[in-house]
Amino acid sequence: MRFLLDDGQREFARTLDTLLTAADTPATARAWAAGDHAPGRALWTRLAAAGVFALAVPETYEGLGPLPVELAVAFTELGRHAVPGPLVETVAAAALLDRLGDKTAAAAWLPRLAAGEATASLCVPDLTGPYALDADIADAVLVADGDTVRLAATAGPVQSSADPARRLARTAGGTVLARGPEAAAATGYAAEVAALATAAQSLGLGRALLDRTVAYARQRTQFGVPIGSFQAVKHRLADTLLALEFAQPLLYEAALTLAAHGTAPREIAAAKVTAGEAAHSAARTALQLHGAVGYTEELDLSLWIRKARPLRDAWGSPASCRARVLAPWPTGAAPVPQQGGAA
């Protein structure tokens, strides 16, 4: 199978990269972690204008999607630039509302989410625990517990996280939007979208960590030569690159399968665990090769390093993803070979 982006998809990635490079995302992330959401909200508006959130919203509700491949492209760039906020949760909430069957709720929220006029968070206790990301500032917080989906009424105090820009809060109360098998199925689809977007974020994060570490290895010297010339350093960087390169086609395969079949549990689980572990390895490599300076919060690198492990575990831990990949195929559900590529 070919996993090559077409010209439009590559141009979309370049456009987002240019937008985010000019946005000073490290300053935005630091402000978000401190509770100042104004810069993040402004960036959210620009991302919405570029069509990022509309990718998860169908045209019926003023969106562009669902377009899983383009969503993977977008979230790779969001991860590369360490953009803060409930990005994954917003597109997952949009996917949930689209499949839920509550047309009133869909009409009320999906156009606003697509346009960037509202943010959303999503809590699925089986996957996220009792917390919702950035529930304290989200305009809508959905809680999908078993076969019941509700719109939460309140969000509790913010809890600390390994990544200061990932602000967690409990939810309480609210209005039941749907209950039953259809709600459970919609939750499963939303969780797949969330896992796919998180895998893409991890891939972008890992690539950013590798790029920054390679640049540092070229300029830092020991014994009068750059440390990048040392064989052990070359091997460590090469291993990191190979892990990220291996994750990329799995990500595109998962996106293509989701686009073609509306579900891709094994493919997404494989992409999620592979990209998450590759990003975590890239963070360890970055920390080791930067030395003591890598531990300092003043260094922008820390914003990327501290995201690696939370993203690895979000929306499917490595153990749960491996279990899903290795689970026996249901009778009559063997994979069907696909043709074509991401283009």
Structure confidence by residue, pLDDT tens digits, 210-243: 999 999 999 999 999 999 999 999 999 999 999 9
Decide if pLDDT at 248 tops 60.
yes
pLDDT score for 199 = 98
* 8 Å CB contact between 247 and 210: no
Helical pair 301-313 and 25-33, crossing angle rounded to 10 deg: 60
Q: Mean pLDDT throughout 189-213?
A: 98
Q: What is the DSSP letter of 83?
A: -
Q: 308: Cβ–Cβ under 8 A, 6 or more apart, which residues?
A: 202, 205, 206, 209, 279, 280, 282, 283
- C-alpha–C-alpha distance, residues 97 and 101, integer Å: 7
Give residue-wise pLDDT tens across range 310-327. 999 999 999 999 999 998
pTM of the model: 0.94
pLDDT score for 2 = 62
Decide if pLDDT at 4 tops 90.
no
Question: Among residues of the chain, what percentage have pLDDT more than 90?
Answer: 86
Q: 245: Cβ–Cβ under 8 A, 6 or more apart, which residues?
A: none
- Given the structure tokens 């917080």, which residue do they identify? 141
Decide if pLDDT at 341 tops 60.
no
Give residue-wise pLDDT tens across range 33-71. 999 999 999 999 999 999 999 999 999 999 999 999 999
Q: Is 302 helix (H, G, I), strand (E, B) or coil?
A: helix
Q: Is 228 helix (H, G, I), strand (E, B) or coil?
A: helix
What are the CA-CA distances from residue 282 to residues 13, 62, 170, 213, 320 (Å)? 22, 38, 31, 9, 22
